Chain A
Amino acid sequence: MDGSRRNFLKLSTTGLGGMLISLNYPGLAADANDVMTTRINPFIRIEPDGQIVIGARACEMGQGVKTALPMLIAEELDVPWSMVRVEQLDYGLTRADVNGELTNVYGNQNTDASATVRRSWNELRQIGARARYLLVKAASVKWHIELDKLNTRQAMVVHPDGNTLSYSELSKVATNLSLPEYDIPLKKSEEFSIIGKSTQTADASEIVVGATVYGIDAEIPGSLVAVVARCPFFDGSVSTYDASHTLKLSGVHSVVEISGADKNDISLPGGKKHNDGIGSNLAAGIAVLADDTWAALKGRQKLKVDWLPGPWRNDSTEALMKRAGRALDEAAQISPRVEGNISQASKQAGKLIGSRYFMPFLAHCAMEPLHASLEIGSDHALLIASIQVPDNASNVIHMMTGIPREKIEIRLPRLGGGFGRRISADYIAEAVKIARQVDRPIKLIWTREDDIQNDLYRPAGMHGLSAAIDKHNNLSCWSHQVAATYRLFREPGLQGIGVNEWVSCHDPDAFPAGCVENFEASFTALEFGLRRGWWRGPLPTFVAFPIQSFIDEVAHAAGKDPLQFRLELLGKARQMPYRDMNFEDNRNPTVIDTGRLAVVLRKVTTEIKYGRKLKAGHGIGMAMHFVYGAYVAHAMEVSVIESQLKIHRCVCAVDLGQVLNPSGVEAQISGATIDGISTALGLEITVEEGRVKQSNFTDYPVLRLSDAPDVEVHIMKSTYAAAGAGEMGIPTAAPALTNAIFAACGQRIYRLPIANQLTSKS
Chain B
Amino acid sequence: MKVKFILNNKVQQYNGDEEMPLLWYLRDYAKLRGTKYGCGIGACGACTVHIDKRAVRSCTLKMKQLEGRAVRTIEDLATNNILHIVQRAWIDEDVAQCGYCQAGQIMSVVAMLESNPRPGQREFSGLTNICRCGTYPRMRKAIERAVRQINLTSGL
A207, B127: Cα distance in complex, Å: 19
Is B27 among interface residues, defined by CB-CB distance under 8 A? yes
Q: How many residues of A contact B (CB 8 A)?
A: 63
Q: Which of A63, A217, A366, A710 contacts B132 (CB 8 A)?
A: A366
Q: Please, which residues of chain B bring their CB within 8 A of the CB of A64? A: 97
A63, B134: Cα distance in complex, Å: 12
Whole-angstrom distance between the Cβ of B93 and the nearest chain A Cβ: 10
B94/A706 in contact, CB under 8 A:
no
A698, B83: Cα distance in complex, Å: 34
Is A32 among interface residues, defined by CB-CB distance under 8 A? no
Q: Which of A205, A251, A367, A705 contacts B124 (CB 8 A)?
A: A705
Is B4 among interface residues, defined by CB-CB distance under 8 A? no
Is B58 among interface residues, defined by CB-CB distance under 8 A? no
A396-417: CB near B (< 8 Å → 1, else 0) gives 0000000000000000001111
Q: Please, which residues of chain A bring their CB within 8 A of the CB of B11? A: none
Q: Which of A211, A250, A448, A705 contacts B136 (CB 8 A)?
A: A705
Is A294 among interface residues, defined by CB-CB distance under 8 A? yes
Is A61 among interface residues, defined by CB-CB distance under 8 A? yes
Q: Which of A415, A663, A706 contacts B127 (CB 8 A)?
A: A706
Q: Please, which residues of chain A bring their CB within 8 A of the CB of B136? A: 674, 703-705, 708
Question: Considering residues A62, A209, A448, which has the most beta carbons from chain B within 10 angstroms of its beta carbon?
Answer: A209
- Which residue of chain A has its CB nearest to the CB of B84? A208
Q: Which of A298, A367, A704 contacts B100 (CB 8 A)?
A: A367
Whole-angstrom distance between the Cβ of A67 and the nearest chain B Cβ: 10
Is A365 among interface residues, defined by CB-CB distance under 8 A? yes
Is B77 among interface residues, defined by CB-CB distance under 8 A? yes
A367/B132 in contact, CB under 8 A:
yes
B134/A670 in contact, CB under 8 A:
yes
Is A203 among interface residues, defined by CB-CB distance under 8 A? yes
A415-434: CB near B (< 8 Å → 1, else 0) gives 11111000000000000000
B24/A292 in contact, CB under 8 A:
yes
A198-239: CB near B (< 8 Å → 1, else 0) gives 001101110111111110110000000100000000000000
B91/A205 in contact, CB under 8 A:
yes
A216, B35: Cα distance in complex, Å: 11
Whole-angstrom distance between the Cβ of A743 and the nearest chain B Cβ: 24
A209/B132 in contact, CB under 8 A:
no
Q: Please, which residues of chain B bring their CB within 8 A of the CB of A207? A: 90, 96, 99, 102-103
A251/B137 in contact, CB under 8 A:
no
A210, B102: Cα distance in complex, Å: 8
A292, B23: Cα distance in complex, Å: 12
Q: Please, which residues of chain B bring their CB within 8 A of the CB of A670? A: 134, 137-138
B129/A704 in contact, CB under 8 A:
yes
Q: Which of A665-680 contact B (CB under 8 A)?
A: 667-668, 670-675, 678
B135/A671 in contact, CB under 8 A:
yes
A678/B101 in contact, CB under 8 A:
no
A417/B132 in contact, CB under 8 A:
yes
A63, B135: Cα distance in complex, Å: 12
- Answer whether A294 and B24 are a contact pair too, CB < 8 Å, given A696-B41, A698-B43, A702-B132: yes
B100/A368 in contact, CB under 8 A:
yes
Q: Please, which residues of chain B bring their CB within 8 A of the CB of A671? A: 97, 133-135
A217, B34: Cα distance in complex, Å: 9
Q: Which of A348-394 contact B (CB under 8 A)?
A: 365-369
Q: Please, which residues of chain A bring their CB within 8 A of the CB of B90? A: 204, 207-208
- Which residue of chain B has its CB nearest to the CB of A674? B134
Q: Please, which residues of chain B bring their CB within 8 A of the CB of A369? A: 37-38
- Which residue of chain B has its CB nearest to the CB of A208? B87
A210, B128: Cα distance in complex, Å: 20
Q: Please, which residues of chain A bring their CB within 8 A of the CB of B132? A: 365-367, 417, 419, 675, 702
B115-156: CB near A (< 8 Å → 1, else 0) gives 000000000110111111111111110000000000000000
B78/A209 in contact, CB under 8 A:
yes
Q: Please, which residues of chain A bring their CB within 8 A of the CB of B138? A: 667, 670
Q: Please, which residues of chain A bring their CB within 8 A of the CB of B39? A: 448, 696-697
Q: Please, which residues of chain A bring their CB within 8 A of the CB of B96? A: 62, 201, 203-204, 207-208
Q: Please, which residues of chain B bring their CB within 8 A of the CB of A672? A: 134
- Which residue of chain A has its CB nearest to the CB of B141? A710
Q: Please, which residues of chain B bring their CB within 8 A of the CB of A217? A: 27, 33
Is A711 among interface residues, defined by CB-CB distance under 8 A? yes
Q: Please, which residues of chain B bring their CB within 8 A of the CB of A697? A: 38-39, 41, 43-44, 130
A294/B134 in contact, CB under 8 A:
no
Is A474 among interface residues, defined by CB-CB distance under 8 A? no
Q: Please, which residues of chain A bring their CB within 8 A of the CB of B91? A: 200, 204-205, 208
B34/A368 in contact, CB under 8 A:
no
- Answer whether A698 and B128 are a contact pair too, CB < 8 Å, given A209-B78, A674-B136: no
B83/A367 in contact, CB under 8 A:
no
- Which residue of chain B has its CB nearest to the CB of A676? B134
Q: Which of A201, A293, A675, A696 contacts B24 (CB 8 A)?
A: A293
Q: Please, which residues of chain A bring their CB within 8 A of the CB of B94? A: 200-201, 204, 663, 667
A416/B98 in contact, CB under 8 A:
yes
A209/B77 in contact, CB under 8 A:
yes
Whole-angstrom distance between the Cβ of A292 and the nearest chain B Cβ: 4
A489-526: CB near B (< 8 Å → 1, else 0) gives 00000000000000000000000000000000000000
Q: Please, which residues of chain B bring their CB within 8 A of the CB of A416? A: 36, 98-101
Whole-angstrom distance between the Cβ of B124 and the nearest chain A Cβ: 6
Q: Please, which residues of chain A bring their CB within 8 A of the CB of B97? A: 62-64, 201, 417, 667-668, 671
- Which residue of chain B has its CB nearest to the CB of A668? B97
A276-287: CB near B (< 8 Å → 1, else 0) gives 000000000000
B66-104: CB near A (< 8 Å → 1, else 0) gives 000000011101100001000100110010111111110
Whole-angstrom distance between the Cβ of B33 and the nearest chain A Cβ: 4
- Which residue of chain B has its CB nearest to the CB of A213? B33
A673, B134: Cα distance in complex, Å: 8
A213, B103: Cα distance in complex, Å: 12
Whole-angstrom distance between the Cβ of B99 and the nearest chain A Cβ: 4
Q: Please, which residues of chain A bring their CB within 8 A of the CB of B78? A: 209
A209, B76: Cα distance in complex, Å: 8
Is A447 among interface residues, defined by CB-CB distance under 8 A? yes
B98/A417 in contact, CB under 8 A:
yes
A210, B103: Cα distance in complex, Å: 6
A211, B46: Cα distance in complex, Å: 15
B34/A367 in contact, CB under 8 A:
no
- Which residue of chain A has its CB nearest to the CB of B127? A705
Whole-angstrom distance between the Cβ of B128 and the nearest chain A Cβ: 5
Q: Which of B21, B100, B139 contacts A417 (CB 8 A)?
A: B100
Q: Which of A704-725 contact B (CB under 8 A)?
A: 704-706, 708-711
Q: Please, which residues of chain B bring their CB within 8 A of the CB of A211? A: 34, 75
- Answer whether A367 and B133 are a contact pair too, CB < 8 Å, given A251-B17, A448-B38, A696-B43: yes
A260, B85: Cα distance in complex, Å: 50
Whole-angstrom distance between the Cβ of B8 and the nearest chain A Cβ: 11
Question: Considering residues A205, A416, A418, A702, which has the most beta carbons from chain B within 10 angstroms of its beta carbon?
Answer: A416
15 residue pairs bridging A and B, Cβ less than 8 Å apart? A208-B103, A209-B34, A210-B73, A210-B75, A294-B19, A294-B20, A367-B130, A367-B133, A368-B98, A675-B132, A697-B41, A704-B128, A704-B129, A705-B127, A705-B139
Besides the contacts A667-B135, A671-B97, what 10 more A-B pairs have beta carbons closer than 8 Å? A62-B133, A210-B74, A211-B75, A292-B24, A295-B17, A368-B36, A369-B38, A416-B98, A416-B99, A674-B136
Q: Which 8 pairs from chain A and chain B are nearest by CB?
A: A210-B34, A62-B98, A416-B100, A674-B134, A62-B97, A210-B74, A207-B99, A671-B134
